[in-house]
């Protein structure tokens, strides 16, 4: 019993969010290095052409050189059991990236110090903010020329509407980067790049009051500048408030250089101290306590195996309460059936391994014969719970899709529905236009290729695809509103999803504003929870 409780208490499950190239892969690798899960840097990310060395674990994905869905890495550090959810960010950005954030309890936002907030950071932040999860900011690449740190904090606060609390403060940048000042310890951690990031480092500490030593480490001019900045920080910054951090209102900010292992260990220590073990999750009008002994989980991602010989899929579940045991029978709420989860798997650094047990906070992948949908609940028979489900996020690319051979209508419909059920694409219909003409919406354009590939290989259907100029979609949230009565300008179209929800698609952000102006009282949402909308404008 004690063991059960402490296993959950030591769990931390988070996602790393960033714009491509900010340093997410490098930071992940360094976490694993400090956790002892890998022996030396370079094992996660190899050559440029082999970027997703650990994350790529489906053979076909490897052959195509892409990682279509994200993976989970688990490692131990200082008595904690850490799960990192990898959020795909390059050309493989998709709705899965957003859904993965639903399984995380907190997020680490990596920002390139020279660039500040970039488009993908913005999108991912929005999804985290929707759930009020704690967000920790790591401002990376301080060993290169960087923007003014005060400017960077200002940008975060203005754009994201959150408070920031610098845990440390950089001393110079680029060639003049000398280290950071730890505000809590009032110590300088000096920077040394001679080991080139291959080893774990602890750095040299020096008290800020030790003027003589500090002058010898960073020089008099930099010491004076630092003391002025520290005074400014202490006077003008937000106060530290752990409660605000835990509710996603105040982001602790760390400056460092992932490539040089600089600032990794202090980051991990503060992060683990400030985050909590898994918190209760909402299921209808009850809240499920992670320490409840009864197992419960929800499916947040379904990964199709694109190999024709193995049609099986892998469903990824986030455990919300209790302990998972391999040989027990569990209940799939939506399918109303009991079943055994065959070959449950977990990612441990570079290997996939079959596991015997897992706890609240963990992610498990199970072979799915085609029974699960995104958002489904799995629990112990008799538990009668249904988790809130996963929102459907607004796609950004749209295409009209038809089958080339009209004799294959049945296969086409089956394939489209199946792939939409897995959550790889969203499908929409123009009211009255017939079911053969389907509008497909995706978050990342690669999903169009995946759709074409799978329909051909698994269902024998060739597709005709016409990309559409639409870029935005919104769910209409006014109850009982007849969309026929709306005043819609050119560049806006009314469509329905497979549940019959009414939506509008737009060619631009401007078109959304015009429609809202022309139709007072109309309310639109950026994501949908079943029939209810959320994130209203």
Binding site for ligand G4P (CB under 6 A): 18, 20-26, 45, 48, 89, 140-141, 143-144, 257-260
**Token representation of residue 450:** 């995946």
Residue 153 C-beta: closest distance to ligand G4P, Å: 19
CA dist 374 and 392 (Å) reads 10
CA dist 184 and 200 (Å) reads 22
List C-alpha distances in Å: 351 to 15, 26, 57, 61, 307.
Answer: 19, 19, 9, 16, 20
Rounded to the nearest angstrom, the gap between the alpha carbon of residue 443 and the centroid of all alpha carbons in its chain is: 14
Burial degree of 458 (CB within 10 A; 0-12, 13-18, 19+):
middle
Residue nearer to ligand G4P on the CB measure, 20 or 280: 20
Q: Which long-range contacts (CB under 8 A, 24 or more apart) does 406-411 make?
A: 406/436, 408/459, 408/460, 408/461, 409/436, 411/459, 411/460, 411/461
Pairing of strands 168-171, 179-182: antiparallel
Residue 168 C-beta: closest distance to ligand G4P, Å: 15
Residue nearer to ligand G4P on the CB measure, 46 or 460: 46
Residue 223 C-beta: closest distance to ligand G4P, Å: 24
Residue 339 C-beta: closest distance to ligand G4P, Å: 37
Query: Facing residues of 215 across strands?
Result: none
Residue nearer to ligand G4P on the CB measure, 8 or 259: 259
CA dist 283 and 70 (Å) reads 25
**Could you tell me if 26 and 258 are in contact, meaning their C-beta atoms sit under 8 angstroms apart?**
yes
How long a stretch of residues is the chain?
Answer: 537
Residue nearer to ligand G4P on the CB measure, 26 or 275: 26
Pairing of strands 250-255, 163-166: parallel
Residue 167 C-beta: closest distance to ligand G4P, Å: 17
Residue nearer to ligand G4P on the CB measure, 52 or 323: 52
Residue nearer to ligand G4P on the CB measure, 110 or 440: 110
CA-nearest of 463, 465, 471 to 491 is 471
Residue 110 C-beta: closest distance to ligand G4P, Å: 6
Residue 443 C-beta: closest distance to ligand G4P, Å: 18
Dihedrals phi, psi of 495, to nearest 5 degrees: -135, 170
Residue nearer to ligand G4P on the CB measure, 175 or 466: 175
**Could you tell me if 90 and 121 are in contact, meaning their C-beta atoms sit under 8 angstroms apart?**
no
CA dist 436 and 428 (Å) reads 11
Residue nearer to ligand G4P on the CB measure, 349 or 371: 349
Dihedrals phi, psi of 514, to nearest 5 degrees: -60, -45
Residue nearer to ligand G4P on the CB measure, 114 or 486: 114
Residue nearer to ligand G4P on the CB measure, 124 or 314: 124
The DSSP result for 190-233, as a single string, is E---TTTTSS----EEEETT-HHHHHHHH-HHHHHHHHHHHHHH
Residue nearer to ligand G4P on the CB measure, 23 or 423: 23
Q: Is 50 helix (H, G, I), strand (E, B) or coil?
A: helix
CA dist 262 and 280 (Å) reads 34
**Token representation of residue 496:** 């329905």
Residue nearer to ligand G4P on the CB measure, 193 or 388: 193
Residue 25 C-beta: closest distance to ligand G4P, Å: 3
Q: Is 10 helix (H, G, I), strand (E, B) or coil?
A: coil
Please give the radius of gyration of the chain, using alpha carbons only, rounded to the nearest integer: 25
∠ Cα 8 13 17 (to 5°) = 170
Q: Where are the alpha helices (DSSP H) in 275-423?
A: 409-422
Residue 225 C-beta: closest distance to ligand G4P, Å: 22
Residue 444 C-beta: closest distance to ligand G4P, Å: 15
Residue nearer to ligand G4P on the CB measure, 112 or 380: 112
Question: Can you state the angle between helices 446-459 and 409-422, rounded to 10 degrees?
Answer: 130
Residue 170 C-beta: closest distance to ligand G4P, Å: 12
Residue 312 C-beta: closest distance to ligand G4P, Å: 29
Residue 419 C-beta: closest distance to ligand G4P, Å: 27
């Amino acid at each position: 019993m004690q063991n059960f409780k402490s296993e959950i208490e030591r769990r931390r499950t988070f996602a790393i969010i960033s714009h491509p190239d900010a340093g997410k892969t490098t930071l992940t690798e360094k976490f694993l290095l400090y956790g002892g899960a890998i022996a030396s840097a370079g094992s996660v990310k190899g050559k440029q052409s082999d970027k997703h060395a650990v994350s790529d674990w489906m053979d076909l994905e490897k052959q195509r050189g892409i990682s279509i869905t994200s993976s989970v890495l688990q490692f131990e550090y200082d008595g904690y059991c850490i799960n990192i959810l990898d959020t795909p960010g390059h050309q493989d950005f998709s709705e899965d990236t957003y859904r993965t954030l639903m399984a995380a309890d907190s997020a680490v936002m990596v920002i390139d110090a020279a660039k500040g907030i970039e488009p993908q950071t913005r999108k991912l932040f929005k999804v985290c903010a929707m759930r009020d999860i704690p967000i920790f900011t790591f401002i990376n690449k301080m060993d290169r020329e960087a923007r003014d740190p005060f400017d960077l904090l200002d940008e975060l606060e203005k754009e994201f509407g959150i408070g920031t609390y610098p845990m440390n403060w950089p001393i110079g940048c680029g060639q003049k980067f000398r280290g950071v000042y730890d505000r809590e310890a009032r110590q300088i951690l000096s920077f040394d790049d001679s080991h080139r990031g291959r080893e774990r480092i602890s750095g040299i500490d020096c008290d800020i009051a030790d003027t003589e030593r500090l002058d010898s480490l960073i020089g008099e001019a930099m010491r004076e500048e630092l003391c002025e900045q520290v005074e400014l920080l202490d006077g003008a910054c937000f106060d530290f408030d752990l409660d605000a951090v835990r509710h996603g209102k105040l982001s602790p900010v760390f400056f460092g250089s992932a490539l040089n292992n600089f600032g990794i260990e202090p980051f991990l220590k503060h992060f683990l101290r400030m985050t909590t073990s898994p918190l209760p999750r909402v299921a209808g009008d009850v809240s499920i306590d992670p320490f409840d002994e009864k197992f419960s989980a929800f499916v947040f991602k379904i990964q199709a195996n694109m190999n024709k010989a193995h049609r099986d899929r892998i469903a990824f579940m986030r455990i919300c309460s209790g302990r998972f045991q391999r040989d027990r029978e569990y209940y799939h709420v939506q399918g109303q059936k009991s079943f055994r989860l065959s070959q449950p798997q977990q990612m441990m650094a570079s290997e996939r391994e079959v596991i015997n047990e897992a706890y609240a906070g963990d992610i498990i992948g199970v072979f799915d014969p085609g029974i699960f949908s995104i958002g489904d609940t799995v629990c112990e028979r008799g538990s009668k719970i249904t988790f809130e489900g996963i929102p459907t996020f607004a796609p950004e690319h749209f295409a009209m899709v038809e089958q080339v051979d009209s004799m294959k209508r049945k296969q086409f419909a089956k394939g489209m529905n199946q792939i939409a059920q897995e959550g790889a694409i969203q499908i929409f219909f123009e009211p009255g236009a017939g079911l053969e003409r389907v509008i497909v919406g995706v978050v990342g354009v690669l999903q169009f290729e995946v759709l074409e590939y799978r329909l051909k290989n698994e269902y024998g259907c060739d597709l005709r695809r016409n990309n559409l100029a639409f870029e935005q979609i919104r769910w209409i949230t006014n109850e009982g509103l007849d969309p026929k009565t709306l005043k819609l300008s050119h560049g806006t179209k009314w469509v329905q999803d497979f549940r019959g929800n009414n939506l509008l698609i737009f060619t631009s952000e401007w078109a959304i504003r015009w429609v809202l102006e022309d139709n007072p009282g109309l309310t639109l949402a950026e994501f949908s929870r079943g029939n209810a909308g959320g994130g209203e404008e």
